[in-house]
Amino acid sequence: MGPVKSSVFILILHLLEGTLSNSLIQLNNNGYEGIVIAIDPNVPEDETLIQQIKDMVTQASPYLFEATGKRFYFKNVAILIPETWKAKPDYVRPKLETYKNADVLVAESTPPQNDEPYTEQMGKCGEKGERIHLTPNFVSGKKLQEYGPQGRAFVHEWAHLRWGVFDEYNNDEKFYLSNGKIQAVRCSAGITGTNVVNKCQGGSCYIKRCTFNKVTGLYEKGCEFIPQTHQTEKASIMFAQYIDSIVEFCTEQNHNKEAPNMQNQKCNLRSTWEVIRDSEDFKKTTPMTTQPPKPMFSLLQIGQRIVCLVLDKSGSMATGNRLNRLNQAGQLFLLQTVELGSWVGMVTFDSAAYVQSELVQINSGSDRDTLAKRLPTAAAGGTSICTGLRSAFTVIRKKYPTDGSEIVLLTDGEDNTISGCFNEVKQSGAVIHTVALGPSAAQELEQLSKMTGGFQTYASDQAQNNGLIDAFGALSSGNGADSQRSIQLESKGLTLQNSQWMNGTVIVDSTVGKDTLFLITWTTQPPQILLWDPSAKKQDGFVVDKNTKMAYLQIPGIAKVGTWKYSLQASSQTLTLTVTSRASSATLPPITVTSKMNKDTGKFPSPMIVYANIRQGASPILRARVTALIESVNGKTITLELLDNGAGADATKDDGVYSRYFTTYDTNGRYSVKVWALGGVNAARRRTIPQQNGAMFIPGWIENDEIKLNPSRPEINKDDLQNKQVCFSRTSSGGSFVASDVPKAPIPDLFPPCQITDLKAEIHEGRLINLTWTAPGDDYDHGTAYKYIIRISTSILDLRDKFNESLQVNTTALIPKEANTEEVFLFKPENITFENGTDLFIAIQAVDKVDLKSEISNIARVSLFIPPQTPPETPSPDETSPPCPDIHINSTIPGIHILKIMWKWLGELQLTIA
């Protein structure tokens, strides 16, 4: 191993922790460095937005510092500015910072007027989030009334992103019963407030106290809890950080464990501070004794894409048709994937390096063809990866600095000297994407991707899996708008015998169609190729390259929307079909599928999780058929149906993120991941973004002795779907991961059922309790569990901490169903006091056939409320809101209704805390 600076080793250790994240954030002496905030290319140019971003982070830093006991602050932030904005002397070219690895995206709201700040969270409690989403309206302070000061809200989102905590409010269930009394969902429970409902009729509105639902014992629909202006409580930021007194996260001492919110459901009743305290960040720091400096900002402007192909032509590339497959994949990248206006160079290497092309700007089809002809055609020699990389740096530096440039490195050979150029790679500021081909590619290869934020992929020698073409097809730019990127519609392969046919269809939907390319490859002889457009017109004009064994057809203009049919005929050979396209319009967002694994290393028996995120702009696509194909280095392929059901590996139901556990390891080494997504008559696009993890919408506030209400937050209607039929087809490379500690066959069963996370409970007549949940499997979310253990308690903490000692429900008649189907179980509590005002808590544990047990489920609760036979004429002292007069007002302020009541009367409206 060559000499490498210690700082590089520190960086590598940071990036090799196992979690698959593109983020560049590092914690250095209590300060967060490497934060990337990107302004979306579709945001109109507005230089004041940059200053507003700076102001937001500057305000957030001391708030974060105090809230975390003087442990954390924002040290430096990079702001990514779109290429289309006017250049400024203080804007510099990015290094590793891209839109793909941005931690915060500032983009226009979708749909319009939805300026809710939120954070994408795919994982479990304590796992880092994906990205914070903010709108220009929010950043500029135009939404202060709805979400409070931007800096405080940013800290709320940061806690989601960095520490994987969840919200402590609940828009769907704002009140709950506790010991027969109504309580507002809040944390801490010491926050006092007023419960009111806004009634409007015929243009006249009035605010009144909330009335009871005589059946449920809860308040009527539309009732809102309005916190008092003057509070003494300091927690919690994950409930309502906009309240002046709130400067802390809830701790185990003041956390409201009974509140039905996501934090309790996802984090096993733990407070946000307990989760933060368990984080790696917390373990690596101690409180500071001095005040932190203000954040530093760098302004980075996206420029033209600069990419150099570094391709292995060593002797091993002559085996298994690898060199020819490299040519096929390289042609796809050069003819289609790389964007117009990009600068592209090419280097080949064996034990030495050879410059095949200096940087050439892609301005036309002829530029693409010229580069494609430089792809290597002969293989010989050894393997020296560092030599190839150094040559690529030289090629780039002849025209541009290497900062922000990209290198696509493909190799199939062993090379134990890669670490010798780690320092040069880091210092270059270039992003390196790695493609490992075959079972013997250098073991340290992925470290180059990890240390530079590049994409890592693996392709086996099984040509029918089309892995190499998928890897190169996935290398579209990490910057720029979605409308510029190449989108893969289809990727299939098949080995045919005796003049068999490979038949199929490809859907070209209305969001794509520009630059549509059909690419066909073969292994021996050109096949018969038949292609028809949606109007049944046969398509001719394929360009046939017999040397490279491929043919392609570029559809002129915008390809017809609909189902394209193909038929390919051949004997005793392998065929593949790849179809790519681009957005049909710069203003209509295309449907996109991005896929990934939760980690880049899988250590048996720890399961992996595969994710696919399907979107059109910010709108999720629901009810698609999504399938993952995971191929091991042995060539074995496992097929997984991915689900968006809010159970098993899936964090949130109907959010457009589909996921599934992977447990079917068969060997150590690399595994590749590909996702197919198909939309049909059942698929739909949601008009509104589902409730995300984000800062709470402020229902109202008290100002100058007056209660003021914001216009009601638009309700998220789960049935509010556009286009009941959304037809599309997509494929997406999910990169690769490396498995270790996999035992030799037969592989033992060490996988328990997955945790049940969506347990719900309701009371039926006769004091029966109806439970519903999604069935786990024998191995996480696969197969069928053997049995269930259901326990109940009147103490939520006893049930959590002493589950095995809690009262067990008779489940003799409960036979588990197959994983991911709905379970329903009705029982009557026995041997436990269950009377009016009783709160009963329920949890489930699943057991498999070898007696492996799942984690305890989320805790469901029921509160027995028996309606009085004769409703009292006046509310009882136990009610949380005393009687008050109905006061009618005609609002003269659009969207804001004001109840003018003297402060002495407001004192009577304070929420009584039990």
Structure tokens at 438: 């075959």
Establish if 280 belongs to a structural domain.
yes
Tell me the pLDDT tens digit for each residue of 153-172: 999 999 999 999 999 999 99
Establish if 844 belongs to a structural domain.
yes
The band of 908, judged by pLDDT with boundaries at 50, 70 and 90, is very low
Instruction: Report the percentage of the chain scoring pLDDT > 70.
Output: 91
157 is catalytic: yes
Establish if 107 belongs to a structural domain.
yes
Residues 347, 397 within the same domain: yes
Residue linked to tokens 């002129």? 556
pLDDT at residue 469 greater than cutoff 80: yes
Query: What angle separates helix 445-452 from helix 6-15, to the nearest 10 degrees?
Result: 90
Other beta carbons within 10 angstroms of residue 87's beta carbon come to: 10
Q: How far apart are CA 386 and CA 424, in angstroms?
A: 9
Q: How far apart are CA 175 and CA 195, in angstroms?
A: 10
Establish if 439 belongs to a structural domain.
yes
The band of 885, judged by pLDDT with boundaries at 50, 70 and 90, is very low
Cα distances from 537 to residues 88, 534, 551, 558, 577, in angstroms, run: 52, 7, 19, 15, 19
Smallest CA-to-CA distance from 791 within 760, 755, 829 is with 829
Tell me the pLDDT tens digit for each residue of 607-617: 999 999 999 98
Residue 340, classed as helix, strand or coil, is coil
Give residue 207's domain range: 175-260
Out of 588, 611, 644, pick the residue that ends a domain.
Answer: 588
Give pLDDT, residue 478.
85
Tell me the pLDDT tens digit for each residue of 91-105: 999 999 999 999 999
CB contact burial 725-741 (16+ within 10 A = b; e otherwise): ebbbbbbbbbbbbbbee
Active-site residue identified among 157, 258, 274, 339:
157
Residue 240, classed as helix, strand or coil, is helix
Question: What are the beta bridge partners of residue 844?
Answer: 790
Establish if 71 belongs to a structural domain.
yes
Out of 260, 288, 323, pick the residue that ends a domain.
Answer: 260
The band of 684, judged by pLDDT with boundaries at 50, 70 and 90, is confident
Establish if 910 belongs to a structural domain.
no
Q: How far apart are CA 14 and CA 365, in angstroms?
A: 42
Residues 620, 537 within the same domain: no
Residues 326, 441 within the same domain: yes
Residues 250, 398 within the same domain: no
Residues 252, 285 within the same domain: no
Task: DSSP letter for 539, please.
Answer: P
Cα distances from 441 to residues 416, 418, 424, 445, in angstroms, run: 10, 12, 21, 8
Residue linked to tokens 């009292």? 872
Q: How far apart are CA 511 and CA 723, in angstroms?
A: 13
Q: How far apart are CA 262 and CA 250, in angstroms?
A: 14
**Mean pLDDT score of the chain, rounded to an integer?**
90
Structure tokens at 517: 């390319």
Residues 503, 532 within the same domain: yes
Establish if 899 belongs to a structural domain.
no
pTM here is 0.91
Nearby residues of 423 by Cβ (< 8 Å), 6 or more positions away: 4, 5, 8
Residues 383, 433 within the same domain: yes
Residues 321, 398 within the same domain: yes
Residues 429, 516 within the same domain: no
Other beta carbons within 10 angstroms of residue 191's beta carbon come to: 24
For residues 729 and 506, the answer to whether their CB atoms sit within 8 Å is yes
Tell me the pLDDT tens digit for each residue of 166-216: 999 999 999 999 999 999 999 999 999 999 998 888 778 888 999 988 888
Indicate the helix (H) or strand (E) that contains 765: none
Mean pLDDT score, 737-745: 95
Residue linked to tokens 């150099």? 308
* Domain containing residue 434: CATH number: 3.40.50.410
Phi, psi dihedrals of residue 152, rounded to the nearest 5°: -65, -45
For residues 393 and 425, the answer to whether their CB atoms sit within 8 Å is no
Establish if 391 belongs to a structural domain.
yes
For residues 255 and 186, the answer to whether their CB atoms sit within 8 Å is no
The band of 910, judged by pLDDT with boundaries at 50, 70 and 90, is very low
Residues 159, 179 within the same domain: no
Residues 314, 378 within the same domain: yes
Residue linked to tokens 């964007």? 339
Phi, psi dihedrals of residue 250, rounded to the nearest 5°: -65, 140
Residues 103, 137 within the same domain: yes
Give pLDDT, residue 715.
60
Mean pLDDT score, 474-485: 87
The total number of structural domains in the chain stands at 6
Out of 285, 301, 317, pick the residue that ends a domain.
Answer: 301
For residues 171 and 671, the answer to whether their CB atoms sit within 8 Å is no
Structure tokens at 504: 């199929």
